[in-house]
Amino acid sequence: MADSGNLGHWEDLAAFHGTGNDIYYDIPALISGGMSLRPMEVDALGLATRGLGVDGLAVAHVQSHIGIDSIHLARLGAHVTAFDFSPTALARLRDLAAQCDVEIRTVQADSQELASAAFAEYQGEFDVVYATIGVVSWIADLEAWMRGAAALLRPGGRLMLLELHPLVCMPEKTDPLVVDFPYVNDGLRHYEGTGSYANPDADLTWSIEQYGWSIGETVNAAIDAGLAIVRLIEHVEAPFDPRGDILVQEDDGMFRLRLGTGANGAPAEPLPVLFTLVAERPAVA
């Protein structure tokens, strides 16, 4: 993940997000306390905390970006440490945390290296490792990422990964349908473009490297890292469009991905758009 192209891209996004017109980052609402975790994140945290919530728990927010969820978690009473490879993102996070009057520790780190000796002081410290939406497609070595998550957890601690479903990552656009991203890992993919997932019209130009990871590969990477799978849930709807311009908001306010039509002209069945993976570091016998 730490290649210079991807780091430069996320440095640009960290400087841009929350500074203008975008669909993700309403900073005035955050500072005023008007933003909170979405129901899917709350539900996933319920699974990760055995229904007890994060109050008083040590939570590692991996790939935190500018730390919106870090702030939400801190407001819920968690002792939050935010890990990200972008110094600009962490600087923005610290500034936002100060404006929101919460304490968050920040650590600059490539999330694939968290199991290494360089981060030994944080290993075994956390009750929950929290990572959400837009995480694994930037990871060249998913087993190393999972080993890092496992290393951060104390025995009995749990990883909570709420992520884009690999199916929703595949289309570049839906009308006409163009599928340009792999379902399974087949190595590095290079892409160039403009804009941001928070504002497709943003004046940003980028050149990035990404990786496809299937549900099976993600689960197996967690198992190979020594984690025990607690729950895997695939979601066919979301309260927002995590891709920014792929899903359609329907009459009930939820966003879904439907391709083609169903039987007898009925709407096509919705495809999965997100998944929740909860996995536990087994307690020491």
Residue 94 dihedral angles phi and psi, to the nearest 5°:
-60, -40
In the three-class reduction of DSSP (H, G, I as helix; E, B as strand; rest coil), residue 19 is classed as coil
CB 223 within 8 A of CB 232: no
- In which domain, by residue range, is 213 found? 4-280
pLDDT of residue 147: 98
Confirm whether 260 is domain-assigned. yes
CATH code assigned at 16: 3.40.50.150
CB 192 within 8 A of CB 184: no
In the three-class reduction of DSSP (H, G, I as helix; E, B as strand; rest coil), residue 186 is classed as coil
pLDDT at 243 over 90: no
Which DSSP letter does residue 264 get? G
Average pLDDT rounded to a whole number, residues 117-123: 98
Greatest alpha-carbon span in the chain: 60
Instruction: Compute the mean pLDDT over every residue in the chain, rounded to the nearest whole number.
Output: 94
Confirm whether 149 is domain-assigned. yes
Angle at 103 between CA 150 and CA 58, to 5 degrees: 25
Confirm whether 23 is domain-assigned. yes
Confirm whether 56 is domain-assigned. yes
Confirm whether 93 is domain-assigned. yes
Q: What pTM value is reported for the model?
A: 0.95
Confirm whether 270 is domain-assigned. yes
pLDDT digits (tens, 9 = 90+) for 188-237: 999 999 988 888 888 899 999 999 999 999 999 999 999 999 999 999 99
CA distance linking residue 198 with residue 150, whole number of Å: 30
Confirm whether 10 is domain-assigned. yes
Confirm whether 285 is domain-assigned. no
